[in-house]
């Protein structure tokens, strides 16, 4: 019993120190990448890369879990935010995100009160040309498709889902865990599967 109590006290002290370190580390990473933010809380430190000419904007009360400590669902990744030259990544107010990757080569817009589950990937590009002749040459990256992604207010994206380029997820809509979203989802609907399909109205 004494050992258990001692363990709990030490763990709490280490946890409090980690929160301070994580906040400072995240501030440095955000400032170093010219991220515009209002307020955030974090467990762990995210990976952030904003290219010259890219924009990354974060609203009020942003919450992120980096690694397993903040959201123990089996995903050990840090949050990854990549913004390419001339691209814009916008995260609204009261958004929660865990161990996810937002890769922005064009435009990704996240509305207010959106929840993004552990291990989710959001891509607004194919990364490479679909033409095999272009992929083997130097023109590959120049011909990659890029189409904006929009996640509207109050949407919830389940763990390990992938949202692909050009997708709009409607207000209040839910994406089931492990889905691959290839086309837009209307407001107030539940979609799931690979590829994601309509399940039912909310």
How far lies 134's CA from each of 13, 71, 137, 158, in Å? 55, 41, 5, 35
Q: CA 155, 174, 198, 149 torsion: positive or negative?
A: positive
Q: Where are the beta strands (DSSP E) in the chain?
A: 40-43, 47-50, 55-58, 62-65, 80-83, 88-91, 96-98, 101-104, 107-110, 115-116, 121-123, 149-151, 156-157, 162-163, 168-169, 174-175, 180-181, 189-193, 196-201
Query: Does residue 75 contact residue 177 with C-beta atoms inside 8 Å?
Result: no
Query: Does residue 57 contact residue 90 with C-beta atoms inside 8 Å?
Result: yes
Q: Can you read off the two tokens belonging to residue 141? A: 């990256």
Residues ≥6 apart with Cβ < 8 Å to 202: 172, 173, 174, 188, 189, 190
Q: Is 128 a catalytic residue?
A: yes
Catalytic residue among 94, 105, 128, 143: 128
Where in the sequence numbering do the catalytic residues fall?
128
């Amino acid at each position: 019993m004494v050992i258990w109590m001692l363990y709990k006290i030490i763990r709490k002290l280490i946890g409090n120190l980690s929160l301070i370190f994580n906040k400072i580390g995240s501030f440095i990473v955000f400032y170093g990448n010219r991220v515009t933010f209002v307020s955030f809380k974090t467990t762990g430190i995210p990976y952030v890369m904003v290219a010259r000419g890219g924009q990354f904007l974060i609203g009020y009360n942003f919450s992120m879990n980096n690694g397993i400590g903040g959201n123990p669902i089996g995903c050990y990744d840090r949050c990854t935010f990549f913004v390419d030259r001339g691209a814009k990544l916008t995260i609204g107010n009261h958004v929660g995100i865990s161990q996810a990757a937002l890769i922005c080569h064009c435009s990704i817009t996240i509305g207010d009160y959106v929840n993004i589950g552990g291990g989710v990937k959001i891509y607004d590009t194919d990364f490479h040309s679909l033409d095999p002749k272009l992929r083997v040459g130097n023109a590959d990256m120049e011909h990659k498709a890029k189409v904006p992604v929009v996640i509207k207010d109050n949407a919830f994206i389940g763990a390990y889902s992938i949202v692909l380029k050009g997708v709009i997820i409607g207000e209040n809509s839910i994406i089931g865990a492990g889905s691959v979203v290839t086309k837009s989802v209307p407001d107030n609907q539940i979609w799931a599967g690979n590829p994601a399909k309509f399940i039912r109205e909310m």
